Amino acid sequence: MTTRSASSHQIRSFDPVLAGDIIQELKHLPGATLPILHALQDRFGYVDRAAIPLIAEALNLSKAEIHGVVTFYHEFREQPPGAHIVKLCRAESCQSMGCRELETHVETRLRLKMGGKATLEAVYCLGNCALSPAVMIDGELHGRVDPARFDDLMAECGL
């Protein structure tokens, strides 16, 4: 299965020329801001501050408007993420199956063992509620995740 490009990074440093090409390619779309931000994040893993004036100019909007969009949506990162991105569901269905305990385990493990190699993000529902608790690692969904299974999944990432 192919994973989304944002996940299987490719930690590559921000490149304004490449960013400019991406923006040019998408700016014709009606309401192009989100598609552009997604494309940038897919490529670089985050939305670099330096991209904001480029987008603003291409779309004839103010830098404040673009910054406002980036910061409104939880999905967009303003800092480069770790090599692996762990999205942990904190919503009710997963709560009913012990995600609060799982969260404590994940936080401890990520802090103690992995340094900056993984980024932990909270999400509210991954749509896998009949197989809670759910976790998404590098774009791949996992169900019925208990602490032991989480450790196995991390081991598969080499962590």
Site residues (vs another protein, CB under 8 A): 1, 4, 30-35, 37-38, 59, 65, 68-69, 72-76, 87, 89, 91-97, 123-132, 134, 136, 139-144
- Nearest approach in angstroms of CB 59 to another protein is 7
**Between 85 and 118, CB nearer to another protein:** 85
- Nearest approach in angstroms of CB 114 to another protein is 22
**Between 73 and 113, CB nearer to another protein:** 73
**Between 19 and 36, CB nearer to another protein:** 36
- Nearest approach in angstroms of CB 108 to another protein is 21
**Between 17 and 56, CB nearer to another protein:** 56
Using CA atoms, how far apart are residues 88 and 12, in angstroms rounded to an integer? 25
Q: Is 86 helix (H, G, I), strand (E, B) or coil?
A: strand
Q: Residue 48 burial (CB < 10 Å; 0-12/13-18/19+)?
A: buried
**Dihedrals phi, psi of 87, to nearest 5 degrees:** -105, 120
- Nearest approach in angstroms of CB 143 to another protein is 4
Task: Catalogue the E-assigned strands of 45-139.
Answer: 84-89, 118-123, 135-137
Q: Are 33 and 59 in contact (CB under 8 A)?
A: yes
**Dihedrals phi, psi of 69, to nearest 5 degrees:** -70, -45
